[in-house]
Structures are given as structure tokens and as C-alpha cells.
Amino acid sequence: MQQFPHLYVEGRWVEPVQPRTVDLLDPTREEPFARVAMGSSADVDLAVAAARRAFPAFAATTVAERVAMIDRVVAAYEARLEEFAELIAHEVGIPVSNRAQVTGPAQHMRVARDLLRDHPFESSIGDAIVRREPIGVVAVISPWNWPVQTGVIKTVYALAAGCTVVAKPSVESAASGALLAQVLHEAQLPPGVFNLVNGAGRDVGEALTRHPGVDMVSFTGSTAAGRAVGAAAAQTVKRTSLELGGKSASIVLPDADLERAARWNVGRCFVNTGQSCHAPSRLLVHESQLAEVTDVLVEEAGRFRLGDPMDPGTTMGPLVSAAQYASVRSHVQTALDEGAVLVTGGLERPAGLDRGWFVQPTVFTGVTPDMTVAREEVFGPVLAVLSYRDEAEALQIANDSPYGLGGYVWGGSRETARRVVNGLRAGRVSYNGAATDSHTPMGGYKQSGTGRSMGRFGLEEHLEVKSVYGFQDEARALPSTFP
């Protein structure tokens, strides 16, 4: 069993104030594979104090110094790519074939580094200087479904801005969180600039969000948890950046390449065993094309190879935990009870897999907008197919959701598709399967969250804005905030 017996505070590996550990279960084998240290509010106090002590000096570092620091982190991280891939396969069931999970973080680090080089930390409006200064101590609370990448994005943009960090990964992904702390330690960050406290959300997470020494909370997780984070953070009026749940709609217009849209949607919906907040889990198809698209969906869902995430040939691993397994199965049963038509998948275990939290790739047709499977985030490989009569109804169905994280549109006419794209109430929309870009902002409308991560907008999230008057000559020499 792998051992991660320490927290990371002020540049040192330390035992928790009240020593306690928890065993992490391998979701493929349903047995312990690692033991990690668990902190408490007392450890949060120590970590926040360390981050506050480190902040003044780190905030005063030059852009060149922070660029060099990120380069060291990238090098240390890339030396451990295979170790990360194997660890998260055991930790949360992500197949080693899903290389984006481990290669993506380095790309995000490089983007943050490059943006940092020419970011206008000082600009002007008229005769005033507008300064952008690091907000302070940032609490980074990251989820288990993209266990390394989400934590990296939050941390690297905070560091690029000149902030110090106290990180709390999900308990389910605490082992990879500890390995990431080791990477930052090897990159020789100044003591206290990055700190790690593992622990439960109701203990360590709440202590961080309420802590008066924390200036910002960057959180990714469920909408229910996000509400609690926002309410706790409001007690000390700290900034929050919340990336929460999603129930993204994918609208296939009648003139789209139907087969391409269907195959792409299944692949995107079921990647990561459907445990992705941007998953296009509602597929909206014109009523005249429903029968045609169903056969393609069933065929494409059958292409997934379920099995051991350590096998390079596996394309779908298990769900992360017994609780998630029970939740997804409950949603499937509810869909059946409410009259949705099961066309593939279902409640039966996948053939040949008698242990592990595996579920079949599942597709429902005959779904109506009021059904639970069309409204709640399942967070598993379950696709709900809905039909619509015209463009207006498609948009109405797509936007009839408390969420607004992602959206997808497929069509032949760019003019029509652009009109539909503009009508979607979502923070990130893709046309005809266009790839996303790590330079662009990510975040949600409505109950999918507040704030933006990634790119220039992600850097700005971690900066305060100060107006300075009386230095007219210096101001006139700066670039204008509004060129």
C-alpha cells in the first residue's frame, strides 16, 4: 500500500496536528491501495499563517522570477508523468490511455507562464495609473474527476499572479494531490508559497472558506457544495471563483452531419466515465431524425472497452466510488420509472466485470424535459436524448436548466448555427466539435458558478485593481486600459 503520511506546510512535510489517516480504495478492485494523512482546522490555521507570512515577499517578486519558477514546476512535473498516470488510475479509475489527464496540466502551466510575461500589471485611464496587484492568500479546493489538471490550473494562475496558496484536494484524490505537492517542493518554491492540507470538506474545506486569513476561495465541485462555500466565504466578504455543476445541451440542427454529431457526442459525453462537468449529457435532435440517430448512438456507445484502467486498451474505467456507483444506478432506475426508453446499457453489470464500480454506457431516448435524467447532473456515462420541433423549441429546452456551464451546436449553415450559439445561456459553447483552447476563459452561467478560470481572465481573477492618482507623467507613459 502506498503511503502519503504528511501534509505540506511552509516548505516542509509535517504530520497533522492530530495525526489521522484514511485509506483510499481502488475503484477497480474495491480494496485499499493508499493511505493518506488527514488534516483538521488546526492544520488549516498553520497553513494559512504560513501563506500569509510568505505573501509580502512573494507578491513583490518580479515577473521574470515567477516565469522561472513556473518553468521549474513544469520540468519537475513532466519528470513524473507516468507516475501521475498510474496513480490516478488506481485512485479514481481514470484509464492510463486518457493522456489528457496528465499531459494537459503542463500545457496549462505553459499558457499561464506565457500570459504572465506580457500581462499589463500597470496601465492607465487618462492621468490615472491602474495597478493590478495579487489578491493575497488563495484557498484552492479541487475535485476528484480531473484530479491533477483542475488543481494545477487553480494553483498556477494564483502563483503567476503573485498569490500564495493553501490547497485542499478531494479526499478521493488526495494521493495525487500529495504527489503534486512533491512536484512543487522539488521546484523549490519559497517556503509558505504553496501549502497542502488534506481533509474532508465539512472540516478542512469549511475552515478554509471561513478563515479570515484567506482572501479568495477557488472551488470546483457540485452546485450544492458551491452554495455552502459561497455562504461561508461571504462571512468574511472574500472573493470566490466557483465552477459548479452542469447539464450541458448539445443541439443537432436538421442540416448537421448527423452521424458525425452523434458519434462525437457519445465520445465527449462518456469520456472519464461520464464524470465531467462539461459533458454534453442532453442530446437534442429534430423529431424527424430521432430514429436515424438512435442506431448510431447505440453503435458508438458499444465501442467503449471497459476494464482495468491500467490496461492501455481500456477506454472506460469504473466510477470513482461506491457512493457514485449507487447514485448513477439510482438515476438510471429513475429514468426507467419515469418512462424513458432504454436503447443501450442499463442496470446490469458489464459483461465479465464481477467487481469494481463499473456501469454500462447508457443511452435513453423518449426523454422529456421534465424527467429527472434531463434535469439533474448524473455524473456518469448516461446520455438523455430529447426531440424538438423547431429552432425556438430547441433553445427553450436547452436553456430550461438551472445550469449553464457548457453548450454544443451542430449544423451546416453557419448563420443558423451562430444564431443558436448566441442564444445558448452557457459559459462555453462549441460549434461542430471545435476543440477548446486553454487560452480562453472557462466558467458558467446561472448555478454553474461564478468567475472564470484559464487564460487572461483566469489570471485577472487573482488580482485586485487599484487606481492611483497624482502621477500624471508616469500614467501617460503606460499603455491605456482601453486601447
Domains along the chain with CATH numbers: 2-244+448-468 (3.40.605.10), 249-431 (3.40.309.10)
DSSP sequence for 458-470: HHHTTEEEEEE-S
In 3D, which of 441, 436, 333, 445 has the Cα closest to residue 398? 445
The one catalytic residue among 172, 243, 300, 377: 243
Q: 296-319 burial string, b = 16+ CB within 10 Å, else e?
A: bbbebbeebebbbbbeeebbbbbb
Q: Is 163 a catalytic residue?
A: no
In this structure, the strands spanning 31-37 and 21-26 are antiparallel
Contact by Cβ (8 Å): 314, 306 = yes
pLDDT for 402 equals: 97
Distance CA 291, CA 123 (A): 57
DSSP code of 480? B
Distance CA 80, CA 59 (A): 29
pLDDT for 97 equals: 95
In 3D, which of 223, 227, 230, 221 has the Cα closest to residue 200? 221
Residue 39 CB neighbours (<10 A): 26
Distance CA 71, CA 77 (A): 10
Amino acid in the structure at residue 302 = G
pLDDT for 359 equals: 98
Q: How far apart are the first and last CA of the chain?
A: 58
DSSP code of 274? G
Q: Is 277 a catalytic residue?
A: yes
pLDDT in tens, the chain (483 residues): 899 999 999 999 999 999 999 999 999 999 999 999 999 999 999 999 999 999 999 999 999 999 999 999 999 999 999 999 999 999 999 999 999 999 999 999 999 999 999 999 999 999 999 999 999 999 999 999 999 999 999 999 999 999 999 999 999 999 999 999 999 999 999 999 999 999 999 999 999 999 999 999 999 999 999 999 999 999 999 999 999 999 999 999 999 999 999 999 999 999 999 999 999 999 999 999 999 999 999 999 999 999 999 999 999 999 999 999 999 999 999 999 999 999 999 999 999 999 999 999 999 999 999 999 999 999 999 999 999 999 999 999 999 999 999 999 999 999 999 999 999 999 999 999 999 999 999 999 999 999 999 999 999 999 999 999 999 999 999 999 876
pLDDT for 482 equals: 77
Compute, in degrees rounded to 10, the torsion defined by CA atoms 387, 393, 395, 397.
-60
In 3D, which of 423, 434, 427 has the Cα closest to residue 398? 423
Tell me whether residue 18 is exposed, middle or buried, using C-beta atoms within 10 angstroms of its C-beta: 0 to 12, 13 to 18, 19 or more: exposed
pLDDT for 483 equals: 60
Residue 292 CB neighbours (<10 A): 13
pLDDT for 481 equals: 86
| CA-based R_g, the chain, Å | 23
Q: Which residues contact 80 (CB under 8 A, 6 or more apart)?
A: 179, 183
pTM as predicted: 0.96
In 3D, which of 186, 61, 164 has the Cα closest to residue 116? 61
Can you tell me whether residue 356 is helix, strand or coil? coil
Contact by Cβ (8 Å): 388, 286 = yes
Distance CA 99, CA 218 (A): 25
Distance CA 134, CA 464 (A): 6
Residue 435 CB neighbours (<10 A): 5
DSSP code of 436? P
Distance CA 233, CA 241 (A): 11
Angle made by CA atoms 328, 96, 146, in degrees to the nearest 5: 55
Q: 85-105 burial string, b = 16+ CB within 10 Å, else e?
A: bebbbbbbbbbbbbeebbebb
